Structure 1
Amino acid sequence: MENDSNTETETQAVRLQQMKRDLESWREVLLPLNGLLHWEKPFYPAIIVGINTFIFALIWYFEPSVLTTFALLGLAISLIDFLVPIIGPNVVTAKWTGKQEAQYTDICCRILNAKTHFHNARSTMSSLKSEKPKIYFLIVMGTLVALAWLGSRMDNLCMTYFLVNLVLLIPGIRQHAVLQKYLARLLNVIKSFVGKGSKKMKSS
């Protein structure tokens, strides 16, 4: 068991080093992008929603076809993928510090963990399909029917806008435990109402 654990740790270390090498030309961009997505400053959520709103407003105004939209998205991704590794190191002229290296390593670890979770989820669904096909069928069909119903109730562009906003805001929501804070407040409100109701019952 100990040998297996050591082997797994070594494999993770090798994968992490490979990830760092693959993303090395992006590291000057990944650090500020990571700060933006994790809301290092209080106005960052507004910037995220504002940029996303501006892009979707352009799509709504010009009403491009689906093919044109995907073509423009592909062009934007290709340009970013080509220009960032060239421009990034030249624009950021400051010396790369140990603190920045630690942040870069942490980002690579999170990306690696996300890839591992995705692989595990895919493996779980494959195992479920082979071992319990009826449950797999119910889960897949239920999810697709729910999505189809939701799509019929909402405008496609509006639904995509809210989904993209949600995906972009999730890292900051998790980092600042926003859901936990609001759930705790909701529970406190419910407890206060329950407490008041029980006091009134006793007094009557």
Structure 2
Amino acid sequence: MAEAIQEQQVKKLKRLLEGWRMALLPLKSVFLWEQQWHPCAIFASVSIFFLTIWLMDLNTLASLAVVGLTLNFVDFIIPIVCNTVCGPTSWTGQKEKMFEDICRSIVMSYNKTLDQVKSFYSMRENSPSLYYIISISMLCILAWMASTINNIFLLYIFSTVVLLWPGIQQQGIFKTLTSLIYKMPKIAQKTE
């Protein structure tokens, strides 16, 4: 049952991203850091974009409007450029399979995130005290960060992390860091 729903989601996403399919294939290799320079390219692109917003010296709402306008422009222009540069004859079965794999991984990540959010909200019924402790703590930290750190800088950090995250997972960097964290208390206990 869950697989049938997932397949429907994949088909729906494929239809939604139809105009982006030629752009998604090279983007996948960039986001998964298949070349050593890919993380630098991601970081530089995000930095240049947010440096431009910072130099325009807009308030937060205007900056969000500029980000939205840029995303809408990219969403409009990419399918046109892809269809002009690469005709329909260049689309092969292998590329279609890669496109379907990309859509499937997006759907799986979306469903995994949705399941984690649902499990967090299920804590409200199962363990309300823990739920409220975590919720109130996180919201206080978020409010403190938003009041002390520039909002555009926070958006810059968030955007950079989100765009680098697939490569971080693919390269196993996050797993390595978490395994080092788990080993630290054991090393400290052995020395005592």
TM range (shorter): 0.7 to 0.9
Is 1:134–2:129 an aligned residue pair? yes
Partner of 1:109: 104
Q: CA deviation at 1:11?
A: 2.7
Partner of 1:159: 154
- Provide closer, same or farther for how the CA distance between residues 56 and 100 of structure 1 changes in structure 2, counting only shifts above 3 A: same
How many residues align? The count is: 191
Is 1:44–2:38 an aligned residue pair? yes
Query: Which amino acid is 1:72 matched to?
Result: V
Corresponding residue to 2:62 among 53, 60, 68: 68
Runs of 5+ consecutive residues of structure 1 not aligned to the other structure? 1-6, 198-204
Corresponding residue to 1:19 among 13, 18, 28: 13
Runs of 5+ consecutive residues of structure 2 not aligned to the other structure? none
Q: CA deviation at 1:175?
A: 0.7
Corresponding residue to 1:34 among 22, 28, 35: 28
Corresponding residue to 1:178 among 137, 155, 173: 173
Query: Which amino acid is 1:166 matched to?
Result: V
Provide the secondary structure at the position in 2 that maps to 1:64: coil
Question: Please, which moves more after superposition, 29-38 or 143-152?
Answer: 143-152
What percent identity do the matched residue pairs reach?
29
Give TM-score scaled by structure 1 length. Answer: 0.78
Structure 1 or 2, whichever has the larger Rg, is 1
Partner of 1:83: 77
Per-residue Cα deviation, 1:88-131 (whole angstroms, up to 9, x for no partner): 22222361122222211111011111221232233223322244
Partner of 1:150: 145
Partner of 1:202: none
Per-residue Cα deviation, 1:71-98 (whole angstroms, up to 9, x for no partner): 2222112222222223222222361122
Rounded Cα–Cα distance in structure 1 between residues aligned with 2:119 and 2:172: 28
Rounded Cα–Cα distance in structure 1 between residues aligned with 2:129 and 2:177: 37
- Provide closer, same or farther for how the CA distance between residues 85 and 137 of structure 1 changes in structure 2, counting only shifts above 3 A: same
